[in-house]
C-alpha cells in the first residue's frame, strides 16, 4: 500500500533523514521505533506532505505522491494523529472532530454518520462533545486527536507518539483502541519511543537511528531476540537507562525479562535417525522400569515371554502386550503405579468405563515433563511471554485446566485462569485484561465466538490465537470461530489423561496436521480388529508407549482414538512426526462438554433406577449458538405405568448430573418402542459435525 524509498529530508543544512526505506501493506500495523531525534516524526511529516523531501520517493497504491499537499494525502486515504495531540483548545470536542474531514467536503448526513462512528469508538468524547478541547485530560486529548484523524476514514492511519506523556493505565486504553482499529482492517504506521508498546501492537517493525533504518523484522522477534537487544538496545539498566542506544525510554526503563524468557522447548534432533535412537533408549528404559516397578506389567510381560533385555530395536515394540482401559479399572485406585507411594506428588483422573474414574499418578519429574511439553505446544502456536492467556477449561481432578496453566507459566506468559462456562465473566475478562490467547473446547470457542459477534465486540477484544482441544471440530466450525473472533488463528491441541494430559501434540502454524512429541512417546496406528500395525497414511487406532514416564508408564496403550500418521516431512520444517486430527473413536465413547461418556457408564446408571428397561439411545446435537445437547431416550420397563415417565426422567437427569457431571435431557418412551437388532444395537447418534474434519 505504502512504499517509502530512500527518503531524504533536510532542515536547512542538517540532514534529518538519510535514505529511509520501508513499506506498509494494506491492513498491516507497522512500527517505527527509535529514540528522540532518530527521524521518526520527520518521516511521518514527509509522508503526509507537511515537509518536502530532498530526495527519494513516497509511493501510495503504486502511484508516486512525493511532495503532495496534506489535503491531497487525506483525500487519498491517509490521516495523521500528530505528536503532542495539537488539538485546538478553544474549540469544542465536536468542532475539533469536524476539522478532520474538512477537506473532504462531506454532506451533513455523512459527517453525522462519521461522528457517530467516532463516538462509538471513543464514548468519553461523546460525554464531552460540547466541552472545550483545552480542558480535556492528556488521554482524552489523545483520543480526540485520533478521533479527528478517523473522521477521514483513512485506509492508512499515521500515529505519532500516541503514548507520549500518558499514565500507564491510559496508555493501555489507547493501545487497546489501536489494536481494535487494526482488527477492523485499518493499516497503521505507528511511531513510538516506547519500544515495548510499539512492538507488541504491531506485526512488523523498523528500528530507526540517525535518520535511517538500522534493523527490521517481525515485531515479536525483534522484542525477544537477546542478540538483537544487546546489539541495538545497548546495555541499559535500572540505574543507567541512557546506556541504551534508544535512549531512556521504551525497553530501557522497564524490565521485560522473565525467567528463561527465551527458552526453546523444541527438541535438538535434526534427523529421524537421531530421534529413533532416542526412542530406542527410552523404550528400553520404560520396559525395564515397568517390569521392575509394576506387578501388573511384570505379569503381562512374563505371560508374553518378554524380559527387558529382549528389547534391542524399535521393531521389538510390536512384541509387547497391549494395555487397555480395563487395566486401569482393574488396578484402581493407583493403576499401573511403578514407583513407591512416597515418590508420588499428584493424581489426575478422567471418566471411567464403570463409574470408577481412570486415575493416573504422577511423580515430580512427570509434572515437570508435562509442563515442558505444554510449553512446547504454546511455542509451536507462537505464544510468547508477552501474551495473556485466558484459560476456559475445567480445573480440579481433570488434567485440562492445570495443564494449560502449567504450560502458560512455564513459557512465561500471563495466565488468566477463568475456568469453563460463565459467558458473561469470560467476555468481561477478554475486555478488561485484553487476553491475546483463548483456550477452551471447540464448542466453548464457538459459543464465545457467537456471543462476541452478537454483542459486537470483535474490534474491542485482542484475541489473536485460540487453542482448543477435547472435541472434534469440522473445517466449517473452525472457519466460523475464526471469523467471529475477528480473524483469530486456531490451533487444535491433543492429549489424554493416561499419557500426561492435554499438550501431547498440537497443530503447527501451517495448519495441515498435528505434530506429536515423539521424543516423549511412541505412536503406532493399528487395525482395531486385528491389532496389527498399519502403514503410514492409513486410518486406524492410536496406540501410545511412553518413553520416560515414571509414575504410571504406558506400554502400547490403546487410546481408542482414530487417526493416521502422515508420512514425509512437514512444510513447517520441524523434524517431529505428525498425525491427522482425531477422526473418531473405535468404541462408542463420546465426548460431551469436555467429559468422556462411556455407554457402559450409562448402562450402570440406568440399571440402578427401578422402572427402566435395558434399551436406550444417546442423541447428540449442536444448536446454532454452538451449544452441545444430549438427549437420552430410555424405554420404560415392561409393565411399568406410563404415568411414572416424568418421575423417571427427573431421576435419570439427576443421576447423570451426579455421576457424570453433565446436564442432559431425558426422555422415557414405551417399552419395545426402540429398535432391536440381531447385532450390537446402535446406541449413539451424533450429528454435531456435518462436514469434513480434516
**Same domain for 514 and 627?**
no
Mean of the pLDDT values across residues 224-239? 50
Mean of the pLDDT values across residues 44-48? 95
Mean pLDDT is lowest, of 223-232, 479-488, 500-509, 621-630, for 223-232
What is the per-residue pLDDT for 229?
A: 56
Mean pLDDT is lowest, of 51-60, 503-512, 564-573, 606-615, for 606-615
CATH code (residue 366): 3.40.50.12780
Reported as a pLDDT band with limits 50, 70 and 90, residue 353 is: very low
Strand order across the beta sheet in which 578-579 lies: 414-417, 388-391, 437-441, 465-469, 489-496, 501-507, 514-516, 578-579, 565-566
What is the per-residue pLDDT for 242?
A: 41
Q: Is the pLDDT of residue 281 over 50?
A: yes
Q: Is the pLDDT of residue 249 over 70?
A: no
What is the per-residue pLDDT for 676?
A: 62
**Same domain for 302 and 392?**
no
Query: Of 192, 218, 252, which marks where a domain is finished?
Result: 252
**Same domain for 240 and 309?**
no
**Same domain for 619 and 555?**
no
What is the per-residue pLDDT for 447?
A: 84
Half-sphere exposure of 589 (CA within 13 A, CB side): 22
Q: Is residue 140 part of a domain?
A: no
Beta carbons of 581 and 563 less than 8 angstroms apart: yes
Q: Is residue 115 part of a domain?
A: no
Containing 628, the helix (H) or strand (E) segment is strand 628-636
What is the per-residue pLDDT for 262?
A: 61
What is the per-residue pLDDT for 260?
A: 45
**Same domain for 296 and 380?**
no
Q: Is residue 136 part of a domain?
A: no
pTM of the model as a whole: 0.65
Reported as a pLDDT band with limits 50, 70 and 90, residue 235 is: very low
Domain count for the chain, please give it. Answer: 4
Mean pLDDT is lowest, of 212-221, 244-253, 338-347, 357-366, for 244-253
Share of residues in the chain with pLDDT > 90 (%): 59
**Same domain for 573 and 631?**
no
What is the per-residue pLDDT for 220?
A: 80
Q: Is residue 315 part of a domain?
A: yes
Q: Is residue 107 part of a domain?
A: no
Higher pLDDT, 355 or 562: 562
Mean pLDDT is lowest, of 1-15, 81-95, 215-229, for 215-229
Query: How, if at all, do strands 156-160 and 187-192 pair?
Result: parallel
**Same domain for 485 and 394?**
yes
What is the per-residue pLDDT for 689?
A: 65
From CA 259, how far away is CA 196, in angstroms rounded?
18
Q: Is the pLDDT of residue 11 over 90?
A: no
Q: Is residue 306 part of a domain?
A: yes
Q: Which of 596, 325, 553 is nearest to 441 (CA)?
A: 596
What is the per-residue pLDDT for 84?
A: 85
What is the per-residue pLDDT for 112?
A: 95
Q: Is the pLDDT of residue 170 over 70?
A: yes
Reported as a pLDDT band with limits 50, 70 and 90, residue 98 is: very high
What is the per-residue pLDDT for 239?
A: 45
Q: Is residue 692 part of a domain?
A: no
Mean of the pLDDT values across residues 71-78? 95
pLDDT in tens, 404-460: 999 999 998 999 999 988 899 999 999 999 999 999 988 788 889 989 998 999 888
Q: DSSP string of 72-135?
A: HHHHTTEEEE-TT----TTSBHHHHHHHTTGGGT--HHHHHHHHHHHHHH-HHHHHTTTSBGGG
What is the per-residue pLDDT for 678?
A: 42
What is the per-residue pLDDT for 566?
A: 94
What is the per-residue pLDDT for 659?
A: 86
Mean pLDDT of the chain: 87
Q: Is the pLDDT of residue 591 over 90?
A: no
Reported as a pLDDT band with limits 50, 70 and 90, residue 186 is: very high
Q: Which of 313, 370, 364, 316 is nearest to 342 (CA)?
A: 364
Mean pLDDT is lowest, of 431-445, 490-504, 606-620, for 606-620
**Same domain for 161 and 220?**
yes
What is the per-residue pLDDT for 674?
A: 85
Which sign, positive or negative, has the C-alpha torsion 427, 406, 269, 533?
Answer: negative
Beta carbons of 35 and 234 less than 8 angstroms apart: no
Q: Is the pLDDT of residue 247 over 50?
A: no
Mean pLDDT is lowest, of 278-282, 300-304, 485-489, for 485-489
Whole-Å CA distances, 153 to 104, 156, 442:
10, 9, 36
Q: Is residue 198 part of a domain?
A: yes
What is the per-residue pLDDT for 662?
A: 87
646: Cβ contacts below 8 Å, ≥ 6 apart: 668
Mean pLDDT is lowest, of 220-229, 305-314, 600-609, for 220-229
**Same domain for 564 and 438?**
yes
**Same domain for 29 and 169?**
yes
Strand order across the beta sheet in which 665-669 lies: 665-669, 628-636, 612-622, 684-686
User: 294 lies in which domain range?
Assistant: 269-321
What is the per-residue pLDDT for 236?
A: 40
Share of residues in the chain with pLDDT > 70 (%): 90
Strand order across the beta sheet in which 14-24 lies: 14-24, 2-11, 55-60, 63-64
Q: Is the pLDDT of residue 245 over 80?
A: no
Query: Of 192, 217, 252, which marks where a domain is finished?
Result: 252
Beta-bridge partner residues of 213:
208
Strand order across the beta sheet in which 212-218 lies: 78-81, 156-160, 187-192, 29-33, 204-209, 212-218
**Same domain for 196 and 276?**
no
Mean of the pLDDT values across residues 469-473? 74
CATH code (residue 184): 3.40.50.300
CATH code (residue 633): 3.30.300.30
Beta carbons of 101 and 152 less than 8 angstroms apart: yes
Q: Could you count the other beta carbons within 10 Å of the beta carbon of residue 608?
A: 12
What is the per-residue pLDDT for 691?
A: 55
**Same domain for 64 and 175?**
yes
Amino acid at each position: 500500500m505504502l512504499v517509502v524509498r530512500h527518503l531524504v529530508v533536510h532542515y536547512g543544512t542538517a540532514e534529518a533523514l538519510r535514505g529511509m526505506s520501508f513499506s506498509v501493506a494494506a491492513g498491516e500495523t507497522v512500527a517505527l521505533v527509535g529514540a528522540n531525534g532518530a527521524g521518526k516524526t520527520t518521516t511521518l511529516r514527509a509522508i503526509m506532505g507537511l515537509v518536502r523531501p530532498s530526495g527519494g520517493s513516497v509511493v501510495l497504491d503504486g502511484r508516486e505522491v512525493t511532495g503532495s499537499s496534506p489535503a491531497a494525502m487525506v483525500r487519498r486515504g491517509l490521516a495523521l494523529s500528530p505528536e503532542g495531540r495539537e488539538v485546538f483548545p478553544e474549540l469544542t470536542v465536536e468542532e475539533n472532530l469536524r476539522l478532520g474531514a474538512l477537506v473532504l467536503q462531506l454532506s451533513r448526513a455523512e459527517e453525522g454518520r462519521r461522528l457517530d462512528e467516532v463516538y462509538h469508538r471513543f464514548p468519553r468524547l461523546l460525554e464531552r462533545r460540547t466541552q472545550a478541547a483545552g480542558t480535556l485530560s492528556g488521554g482524552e486529548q489523545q483520543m480526540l486527536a485520533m478521533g479527528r484523524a478517523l473522521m477521514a476514514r483513512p485506509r492508512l492511519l499515521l500515529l505519532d507518539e500516541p503514548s507520549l506523556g500518558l499514565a500507564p493505565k491510559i496508555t493501555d486504553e489507547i493501545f487497546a483502541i489501536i489494536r481494535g482499529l487494526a482488527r477492523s482492517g485499518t493499516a497503521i504506521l505507528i511511531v513510538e519511543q516506547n519500544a515495548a508498546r510499539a512492538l507488541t501492537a504491531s506485526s512488523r517493525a523498523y528500528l530507526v537511528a540517525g535518520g535511517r533504518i538500522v534493523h527490521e523484522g517481525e515485531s515479536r522477534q525483534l522484542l525477544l531476540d537477546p542478540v538483537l537487544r544487546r546489539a541495538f538496545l545497548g546495555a541499559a539498566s535500572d540505574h543507567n537507562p541512557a546506556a541504551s542506544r534508544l535512549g531512556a525510554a521504551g525497553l530501557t526503563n522497564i524490565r521485560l525479562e522473565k525467567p528463561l524468557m527465551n527458552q526453546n522447548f523444541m527438541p535438538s534432533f535434526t534427523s529421524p535417525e537421531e530421534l529413533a535412537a532416542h526412542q530406542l533408549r527410552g523404550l528400553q528404559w520404560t520396559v525395564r522400569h515397568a517390569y521392575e516397578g509394576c506387578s501388573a506389567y511384570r505379569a503381562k510381560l512374563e505371560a508374553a515371554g518378554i524380559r527387558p533385555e529382549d528389547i534391542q530395536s524399535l521393531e521389538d515394540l510390536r512384541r509387547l502386550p497391549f494395555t487397555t482401559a480395563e487395566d486401569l479399572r482393574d488396578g484402581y485406585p493407583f493403576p499401573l503405579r511403578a514407583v513407591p507411594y512416597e515418590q508420588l506428588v499428584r493424581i489426575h483422573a478422567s471418566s471411567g468405563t464403570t463409574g470408577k474414574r481412570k486415575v493416573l499418578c504422577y511423580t515430580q519429574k512427570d509434572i515437570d515433563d508435562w509442563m515442558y511439553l505444554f510449553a512446547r505446544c504454546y511455542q509451536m502456536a507462537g505464544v510468547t511471554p508477552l501474551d495473556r492467556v485466558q484459560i476456559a477449561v475445567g480445573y480440579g481432578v481433570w488434567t485440562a485446566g492445570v495443564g494449560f496453566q502449567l504450560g502458560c507459566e512455564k513459557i512465561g506468559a500471563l495466565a488468566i485462569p477463568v475456568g469453563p462456562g460463565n459467558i458473561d465473566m469470560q467476555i468481561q475478562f477478554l475486555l478488561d485484561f485484553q487476553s491475546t490467547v483463548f483456550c477452551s473446547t471447540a464448542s466453548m470457542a464457538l459459543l464465545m465466538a457467537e456471543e462476541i459477534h452478537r454483542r459486537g465486540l470483535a474490534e474491542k477484544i485482542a484475541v489473536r490465537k485460540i487453542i482448543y482441544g477435547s472435541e472434534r471440530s469440522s473445517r466449517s466450525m473452525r472457519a466460523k470461530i475464526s471469523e467471529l473472533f475477528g480473524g483469530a488463528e486456531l490451533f487444535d491441541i491433543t492429549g489424554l489423561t493416561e499419557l500426561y494430559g492435554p499438550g501431547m501434540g498440537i497443530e503447527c502454524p501451517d495448519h495441515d496436521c498435528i505434530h506429536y512429541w515423539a521424543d516423549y512417546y511412541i505412536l503406532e496406528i493399528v487395525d482395531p480388529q486385528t491389532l496389527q500395525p498399519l502403514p503410514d497414511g492409513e486410518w486406524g487406532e492410536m496406540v501410545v508407549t511412553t518413553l520416560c514416564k515414571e509414575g504410571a508408564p504406558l506400554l502400547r496403550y490403546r487410546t481408542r482414538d482414530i487417526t493416521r500418521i502422515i508420512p514425509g516431512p512437514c512444510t513447517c520444517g520441524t523434524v517431529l512426526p505428525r498425525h491427522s486430527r482425531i477422526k473418531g473413536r473405535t468404541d462408542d465413547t463420546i465426548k460431551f462438554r469436555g467429559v468422556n461418556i462411556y455407554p457402559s457408564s450409562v448402562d450402570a446408571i440406568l440399571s440402578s433406577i427401578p422402572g427402566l428397561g435395558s434399551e436406550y439411545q444417546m442423541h447428540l446435537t449442536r444448536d446454532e449458538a454452538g451449544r452441545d445437547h444430549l438427549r437420552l431416550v430410555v424405554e420404560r420397563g415392561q409393565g411399568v405405568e406410563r404415568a411414572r415417565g416424568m418421575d423417571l426422567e427427573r431421576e435419570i437427569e439427576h443421576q447423570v448430573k451426579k455421576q457424570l457431571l453433565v446436564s442432559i435431557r431425558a426422555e422415557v418412551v414405551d417399552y419395545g418402542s426402540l429398535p432391536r437388532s440381531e447385532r450390537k444395537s446402535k446406541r449413539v447418534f451424533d450429528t454435531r459435525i456435518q462436514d469434513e474434519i480434516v
